Structure 1
């Protein structure tokens, strides 16, 4: 359930089109901006880098940085 671990950062394994919770939490942090991303709002991530992004711009910046 997404609301388990309220107030804690989740540990996630990112997969193509989905993700799997490895440890309970209700949010992750953007790898580019450091912004808190509630799990119910998580839409952007990299399977290859196993990191989350707050929005499309942050995802594009991660791609640019390589």
Structure 2
């Protein structure tokens, strides 16, 4: 019966390994979706920061023009 037990144990290990691989595949698919979402979020943040930088630079330029007029 030892041989039968060894065969049964090996088959059990194969089935368990396959189940773990299936779970890993599902987790990796979820992680890929999460990474795509993060990439989209970063892109949106980059756009917002660029707009804010433009507003700040425009305000700084306007302030420097006003100071020159006062000094003249």
> Which structure carries more relative contact order (alpha carbon 8 Å, separation 6+)?
1
Give me the TM-score of the superposition, normalised by structure 1.
Answer: 0.19
Asked which structure has the greater CA Rg, the reply is: 2
Give me the TM-score of the superposition, normalised by structure 2.
Answer: 0.18
Higher helix share: 2
Higher strand share: 1
